[in-house]
Chains A and B, each alone.
Chain A
Amino acid sequence: MKNLKISGCLFFIAGAIVLMGIVTAEAFYPAGYSTFGNEISDLGATRQPDSVSFEPSSTIFNTVMLLAGIMVVLATFFQHKNYKRWLFSVPAVLFGLGLIGVGIFPGNLSPYHGMAAMLTFLAGGVCAITSFTILAKPFKYVAILFGSIALATWFIAVFASAYLLSYIGIGGIERWVAYPIMLWLLGLGAYQMSAGSLKNITT
Chain B
Amino acid sequence: MNRINLAGLLYFLASVIILSSIITADAFFPKEQNIFATDLMNMGESVQETGVSYRPYSTIFNIIILVAGAMILSATFLLRKDFKQALLAVTGFGFGLGLVGLGFFPGKMIPYHNITAMVTLIAGSIFSISTFKIVSSPFKYISLLFGSVALITWSVAVFAPTSLFYFINMGGTVRWVAYPIMLWLAGFGSYLMHTKQTELNIHSKKPT
**Which residues on B sit within 8 Å (CB–CB) of A28?**
167-168, 172
B194→A194 contact, CB < 8 A: yes
**Which residues on A sit within 8 Å (CB–CB) of B199?**
1, 4, 82, 192, 195-196
Query: At the interface, yes or no: A158 with Cβ under 8 Å from chain B?
Result: no
**Looking at the complex, which one of B15, B82, B193 makes contact with A201 (CB distance below 8 Å)?**
B82
B133→A190 contact, CB < 8 A: no
A171→B187 contact, CB < 8 A: no
**Looking at the complex, which one of A3, A32, A37 makes contact with B34 (CB distance below 8 Å)?**
A32
B84→A200 contact, CB < 8 A: yes
B27→A27 contact, CB < 8 A: no
**Which residues on B sit within 8 Å (CB–CB) of A4?**
199
Expressed in whole angstroms, the Cα–Cα distance for A189 and B28 within the complex equals 31
A175→B139 contact, CB < 8 A: no
A172→B23 contact, CB < 8 A: yes
A residues apposed to B, CB below 8 Å: 1-5, 8-9, 12-13, 15-16, 19-20, 23-24, 26-29, 31-37, 81-85, 133-139, 142, 167-169, 171-172, 175-176, 179, 183, 186-203
Shortest Cβ gap from B125 to chain A (Å): 15
A36-B29 contact in complex given A138-B9, A196-B196, A203-B196, C-beta closer than 8 Å: yes
**Which residues on A sit within 8 Å (CB–CB) of B137?**
5
Excluding A19-B179, A23-B179, A28-B168, 9 further A-B contacts by CB distance (< 8 Å) are: A23-B176, A138-B5, A172-B27, A187-B186, A193-B136, A193-B138, A194-B192, A195-B136, A199-B133
Q: Which of B90-98, B104-112, B113-121, B200-208 contacts A (4 or more CB under 8 A)?
A: B200-208
**Which residues on B sit within 8 Å (CB–CB) of A16?**
146, 183
**Looking at the complex, which one of A29, A34, A194 makes contact with B139 (CB distance below 8 Å)?**
A194
A194-B195 contact in complex given A134-B203, A186-B183, C-beta closer than 8 Å: yes
A19→B183 contact, CB < 8 A: yes
B208→A82 contact, CB < 8 A: yes
Shortest Cβ gap from A31 to chain B (Å): 5
**Looking at the complex, which one of A32, A85, A187, A201 makes contact with B12 (CB distance below 8 Å)?**
A187
B34→A31 contact, CB < 8 A: yes
Expressed in whole angstroms, the Cα–Cα distance for A170 and B202 within the complex equals 42
Expressed in whole angstroms, the Cα–Cα distance for A42 and B129 within the complex equals 35
**Which residues on A sit within 8 Å (CB–CB) of B172?**
23-24, 26-28
Name 6 interchain pairs, CB-CB below 8 A, sorted by A.
A9-B139, A33-B34, A168-B28, A187-B187, A190-B142, A201-B84
Output the residue of A26, A32, A194 with the most chain B CB within 10 A.
Answer: A194
**Looking at the complex, which one of A34, A167, A189 makes contact with B31 (CB distance below 8 Å)?**
A34
**Which residues on A sit within 8 Å (CB–CB) of B4?**
198, 203
Expressed in whole angstroms, the Cα–Cα distance for A203 and B81 within the complex equals 9
**Which residues on A sit within 8 Å (CB–CB) of B82?**
198, 201-203
Expressed in whole angstroms, the Cα–Cα distance for A188 and B190 within the complex equals 7
B134→A196 contact, CB < 8 A: no
